[in-house]
Amino acid sequence: MKKIQFRKFIFTSVVSSAMIVGCSHDYDNNIDINSPALRLAESEKLSIPPAIDLPSNEPNGNTRVATFYAEGVQKYKAKLIAGSTPAQYEWIFVAPRAELFNVVNAKVGTHSAGPTWQLLGSTTDSIYGQAFTPAKAAPSSDPGSIDWLQLTPKTGKAPTGLFTNVSYIQRIATNGGKAPLTAPVNATDTIDVPYTAVYRFTKKNP
């Protein structure tokens, strides 16, 4: 009797293990490699170029306040090249327009002209950014992608809510978003170039 029970236990264990392995295999095959959660996790493994890396701010260092994945477009419009005859145009950057996602793939905010980041359902969780002087930027390893950046909160626009006390904004892990190589042909031409990026918001510890 004991031998039969033991064999049943082995059989049940083998079947259960096979089911777990099978489920794990199916789960791996169904992972969305473009999900915000995965992109955010992968971004934590990246090496940050010195040009946009944060100061150590010893002795107390820094604290990350928030990290969001952005998906949207970089907007461009045509601008006349001064002195060109016949008239020739070039693309100039206008503004971003993107949605922000968190580590559980939930849409939590927007990124738009300013540049500004605003959380959904809130009138207080927002931050405006501006470039340092001189600008802090590093080219993406992909020539078709916009630069990585480090920004600072905009003068006269104090960060609010979640972003209160944020000292640094970093744009990393960019994909796409660069103006087309083909120049516009009319003064009224506009284009929206799809892009994704990860934005980090960090405060300096007192």
Q: How far apart are the first and last CA of the chain?
A: 71
Question: Can you name the residues that pair with 192 across neighbouring β-strands?
Answer: 75
pLDDT by position in tens, the chain (length 206): 434 443 333 333 333 333 333 443 334 455 677 799 999 999 999 999 999 999 999 999 999 999 999 999 999 999 999 999 999 999 999 999 999 999 999 999 999 999 999 999 988 899 999 999 999 999 999 999 999 999 999 999 999 999 999 999 999 999 999 999 999 999 999 999 999 999 999 999 99
Pair 88, 176 in one domain: yes
Pair 60, 137 in one domain: yes
Pair 89, 139 in one domain: yes
Q: What b-and-e string marks burial along 103-118, b requiring 16 or more CB atoms within 10 Å of the CB?
A: eeeeebbbbeebbbbb
Dist. CA 126–CA 158, nearest whole Å: 9
Pair 108, 154 in one domain: yes
Q: Give me the pLDDT at residue 16, please.
A: 39
Pair 96, 23 in one domain: no
Residue 42 makes CB contacts below 8 A (sequence gap 6+) with 173
Handedness of CA 154, 156, 161, 164 (dihedral sign): positive
Pair 9, 40 in one domain: no
Pair 79, 23 in one domain: no
* 108 close to 68: Cβ distance less than 8 angstroms: yes
The number of folded domains in the chain is 2
Q: How far is CA 152 from CA 109, 127, 201, in A?
A: 19, 10, 10
CA neighbours closer than 13 Å in the CB half-sphere of residue 119: 16
Q: Give me the pLDDT at residue 14, please.
A: 36
Pair 3, 93 in one domain: no
- pTM for this prediction: 0.84
Question: 10: domain range?
Answer: 1-30
Provide the token pair at 47. Answer: 């090496």
Q: Which helix (H) or strand (E) holds 38?
A: helix 36-43
Q: Give me the pLDDT at residue 11, please.
A: 36
Pair 58, 24 in one domain: no
Pair 46, 24 in one domain: no
Provide the token pair at 86. Answer: 């016949």
Pair 51, 144 in one domain: yes
- For 63-102, give the DSSP string: EEEEEEEEEEEEEEEEEEPTT-SS--EEEEEEEEEEEEE-
